[in-house]
Structure 1
């Protein structure tokens, strides 16, 4: 039996090692422009050697202490001629310290000191001591601020005459209200959390449901509409039956509704008119969280010489630089090994981030340009000419991996003459052709189905899914009935039976 022992061996092998820098570069690819801005702000706070480039792009001082970078990506353009060829052109007069080109200079507002003896009633200063001129945007935001639904309900709760305990319960209920005004918290769960009985919480809820706007704090659409009808003294048994059968209202099955409610055609018409006058989302009129505006990452414009011109949106590209002057100061003042290591790491991380941002911009431009080249027919003629496209086709054309293309197309938007589209919009599955010709884009087929259904009228026959399949096959699209039904449901188009009933009732 061989004895146990220790020994050293040298083995050679291959393996993939993802460094922190590579992980950062991969992460930057899939960030949207707003997420990238937040990431850059965090890096500016963490790394003292990084600085935002807000200087005049036409400055004459060529000795600015910054890190040199490659040709700026935002000044690169892809021009597609009629023949479909692409040519990349880079500006040669770019400043070496500008990572992403000659964007407009940032405007800096000088801070102004406030007079400490100034009375509170004097509106010559606003905000943190700046003048109204300096803080004009802040004043505008304050004056235009909309009260939220929660604040509106809290103000009413304070005037309701609740006991301190009931007021606390009311605030807890208000916290469970969504943007539409509906209560999204279970009373049993709230009772367990607050140590109160469900009955007492429901008693507070009934009083809170008298708040404006009428219908707020309802737990369902039926309850919301019932509260509004009750305030108008119109919640009779027939109307309550109508509210209890809203699914029949959605299907416009008025025959069954008349039988259930015990009314004639004239009464049913009046009840439907009253129902349409109600507000199913009473809280929608109040200001909520500010919505984030989608900003295009890439612009596509017609080229005067023919074809399309693809340009990056310079406003979404962070312009960073490495402050060499400050680097020299802190490096000279570093005495201990720990300080020297920290300065070296900051310098390396700053240089890598600048390089990664530049590479990210170039990669986005490269992928977007190939997408435009592949989908030039869509830009010229519309969605019916959208071609089937997948990640592998684009990746093979530009010499990148599919995962890289997938990350680049996530949360990135392309502004075209036909509107603003996410890059992933242009990747559609293929539907075979009946005559063996080129495949059809799924998005184009969905558009054809939508146009056919929109052309229906009360005089013409309503198209069934089987009839749509026949029409599409006559047009050369080989598609199954279940695929047509799936596309129709994705477009939120009702079935042929429901559409026929809608056309009859008007």
Structure 2
């Protein structure tokens, strides 16, 4: 069979991700802070976009006219008289003279305190209200606080340079994380010189900074209080026994009686193991919810988007029409058309994003009605696929929508991802149980245990099976317990006994 070239027509369908479609998908997983930053960049880049916070484009702000009756009360008359009182400058202008000639006492007071000349609305003479943030004292930063002290206690420039590098090596708690050998090689200095500067800096305020471990931090503070005796040093050298609640081992190693140990432990509790946290290390960011969930008057749930964090943008078509008429070059018209297309896409994408978030949140609330009504024990197992099938969306879309989004419910503020938990099958044929609800029940059982009946992992697994039909292996119970930072039954029993003996 001979091969020859020929032309054929074929019809096929394919899904192509355009740049705008990819950008719309990316907008779904952005938090409200990231989304606002993205919109800010678009407002700077696109001249056809405007903020939708004020009036509509092209509509001037018309002051509202309020009709008043001719009869007024004594209170309203007093308020009106106060509003009609003129200030000193207007009265002086009416007499065509200076203010000091009419109100000499007022002028003297203004000269003593010129910043206090505010109008009735609290605004200054410039027309702007005073910024309250200007009068709030800022918290000191740890690095600046230590650098000011190092400049006083260190004499040479070389020592101050070493101190600056040591300050940069501190973490938020005030511990030194820098390697002294690496620092000596970097600065070309001797390790002994660096250790001498470090010893001097360990006397700075707050006491305990520049320590390289918790025992060293506590030892610095005890030395400052003249309480670091050999017995206390032995206690600091064996803090692992204190962590394991092995009081008998501590008494044997330290060589003291029980009363002395109680006094030393009380002394340690008065110390600060993280002295650097008393200083400001950065702004505290508050989590702002994206969706509000409230109880409705009919007993159901009302789901509402937090419009305060959603950016509002409008397309100024009046400006586009006026500029298009004056455009002559083809490049200018193409630029305006591209800006209009981008602006229309952005407004549509923001609206679609809000509707998608609202739809996903409504489905989460519907499936987790038991949790919102009765608490965490009624949290149902839920997966992304379950929500996606209920709202007829793709699973990846639900995953993007629930990323970095928060729900404000009557039971607190929760991330949307919190409600998606794995299912644990019930051995008695009942409904599945949420892994988060199981962890909550394990915590409840441990918190209710007595010193004479400390529950082991096997006992907890057996109790879960008898109470709720939850069949878990011992290692699964241990994994959940360790994930909640709960020690083993041996450690808990030892802690309870020591607490009773020390009481």
TM-score bracket relative to the smaller structure? 0.7 to 0.9
2: CA distance between counterparts of 1:501 and 1:493?
14
CA contact (8 A) 1:379 1:417 kept: yes
Q: Provide the residue aligned with 2:104 in structure 1.
A: none
* 3-state SS of paired residue (2:302): strand
Which residue is 1:474 aligned to?
A: 466
1:218 matched to which residue of 2?
211
Of the three residues 319, 325, 330, the one matched with 1:332 is 325
CA distance in 1, matches of 2:262, 2:395: 58
2:30 matched residue in structure 1 = 31
SS at match of 2:414: strand
Are the structure 2 counterparts of residues 377 and 154 from structure 1 closer, same or farther at C-alpha, using a change threshold of 3 Å?
same
Aligned partner of 1:465 in structure 2 is 457
Alignment of 1:363-442 (within 5 A): 363-442=356-435
Distance (Å, rounded) in 2 between the aligned partners of 1:35 and 1:263: 59
Query: How is 1:53-452 mapped onto 2 (pairs within 5 angstroms)?
Result: 53-56=52-55, 64=59, 123=115, 134=128, 136-137=130-131, 139-140=132-133, 143-452=136-445
Cα deviation code 1:166-210 (max 9, x no counterpart): 212212211222221112222223223323233222221111111
Aligned to 2:44: 45
- Contact persistence 1:124–1:131 (CA under 8 A): no
CA-CA distance at 1:64 after TM superposition: 4.5
Shift of 1:398: 0.3
Counterparts in 2 of 1:187 and 1:381: CA distance versus 1, 3 Å: same
> Residues 371 and 125 from structure 1, CA distance in 2 versus in 1: closer, same or farther, beyond 3 angstroms?
farther
- Classify the secondary structure of the residue corresponding to 1:316: coil
1:92 maps to none
CA distance in 1, matches of 2:135, 2:178: 32
Contact 1:433/1:440 (<8 A) preserved: yes
Residue 305 of structure 2 contacts residue 358 of structure 2 at CA under 8 Å; is this kept in 1? yes
Structure index of larger Rg: 2
Q: Secondary structure at the match of 2:153?
A: coil
| 1:136-162 deviation digits (Å, cap 9, x = unpaired) | 44x425523211112211221222233
Using the TM superposition, give the Cα deviation of residue 469 of structure 1 relative to its aligned residue in structure 2, in angstroms.
0.6
Q: Which has the higher contact order (CA 8 A, sep 6+)?
A: 1
How far did 1:340 drift?
2.3
1:225 Cα offset (Å):
0.9
The range that moved more, 397-406 or 225-234, is 225-234
Question: Partners of 2:458 and 2:29 in 1: how far apart?
Answer: 42
Quote the offset at 1:6 in angstroms. Answer: 11
Gaps of 5+ in 2: 61-110
CA shift digits 1:353-379 (9 cap, x unpaired) = 111111110000000000000000111
**Alignment CA distance shift 1:172-1:482 (3 Å):** same
- Aligned partners of 1:287 and 1:14: how far apart in 2? 59
How many correspondences in the alignment? 443
State the superposition RMSD in angstroms: 2.8
Q: Structure 1: 5+ residue runs without aligned partners?
A: 66-118
The alpha-carbon deviation at position 477 of structure 1 amounts to: 0.8
Q: What does the per-residue CA deviation read over 1:477-500, in whole Å, with 9 as the maximum and x for residues that have no partner?
A: 111111111111111111111111
SS class of match (1:493)? coil
Q: Deviation of residue 292 (structure 1)?
A: 0.8
CA separation of 1:297/1:154 partners in 2, compared to 1, >3 Å: closer, same or farther?
same
Which range is displaced more, 152-161 or 475-484? 152-161
Give 1:386 shift. 0.5
Structure 2 counterpart SS, 1:463: coil
1:104-158: per-residue Cα shift (whole Å, max 9, x none)?
xxxxxxxxxxxxxxx9x964799xx987873544x42552321111221122122
Quick check: 5-14 or 196-205, which moved more? Answer: 5-14
Question: What secondary structure is seen at the aligned counterpart in 2 of 1:280?
Answer: coil
Q: Which residue of the partner structure matches residue 109 of structure 1? A: none
Q: CA deviation at 1:9?
A: 8.7
1 CA distance for matches of 2:157 and 2:128? Answer: 44
Using a 3 Å threshold, how does the CA distance of structure 1 residues 192 and 258 change in structure 2: closer, same or farther?
Answer: same
Shift of residue 473, structure 1, vs aligned partner: 0.3
Q: CA deviation at 1:332?
A: 3.2
